[in-house]
Amino acid sequence: MKLWMRKTLVVLFTITTFGLISPPQALMSDKQAEISLSRQENGSPVEILSSIETKTPPDLSSFEDYKSSLLEEVENQSFIKFGTKISPVIEDHYRLVILPKIEKQIMKIVEERSDHDAFQSIAITDNPDPGRKEKIFNVYNMKTGEDILKFHVRLDQPPKEGYWFNFHYHLADDSFQTHYELGSIYWDRNTPPKWMSH
């Protein structure tokens, strides 16, 4: 059976059973393609494919495992961006209000993909911007290297209101032009540290 067909059946089986039942071992055995990514100096993904013999299913063999791993990376990249000076102040509000909205938008994109490449083809970049730049992370297609979503946080200072962190995202559908609000978190009247400060 061709690899793409096997992957398609695994995805369909997993979605149909809501990830509660593992796909049959017959679909999981044989040769699997391992995808590893490295980053060039400019930050663009480079895909390297190699065939390997596996006796056990890969770690991300079900939709639930994939989803869990993807969302864990979202959280990791967010807190790398915040650094140790900002994280303790905004962590609770971020986890309670902003993070669920980010996760919902990412899962919507993952679940909308109906082709056989949907499963495990979406990844999170691992290079948030430091200083005052907005980028937290991008969601991209590993096969094409193209960005699908860009999650940002901007520092706002409305008159006489102190500083706010404005969380938002942009979609590839409109060439990342529209600003989709996720929410804002109040910092203080004092200027916050730069992103990734420790």
pLDDT at 5: 61
Residue 50 above 60 pLDDT? no
C-alpha span between 77 and 171 (Å, rounded): 19
C-alpha span between 137 and 124 (Å, rounded): 7
Q: With contact defined as beta carbons under 8 Å apart, do 57 and 28 qualify?
A: yes
Q: What are the pLDDT digits (tens) for 142-180?
A: 888 999 999 999 999 999 899 999 999 999 999 999 999
C-alpha span between 52 and 195 (Å, rounded): 40
Q: 66 or 94: whose pLDDT is higher?
A: 94
Q: What are the pLDDT digits (tens) for 15-30?
A: 666 555 666 655 555 4
pLDDT at 42: 47
Best CA proximity match to 165, nearest among 138, 137, 128, 193? 193
C-alpha span between 122 and 59 (Å, rounded): 16
Helices vs strands, H then E, count in the chain = 4, 7
For 120, the 3-state DSSP assignment is: coil
Range from 4-8, 146-150, 182-186 carrying the lowest mean pLDDT? 4-8
Cβ-count burial 94-117 (b if 16+ within 10 Å, e if not): beeebbeebeebbeebbeeeeebb
Residue 39 above 50 pLDDT? no
**168, amino acid identity:** H
For 99, the 3-state DSSP assignment is: helix
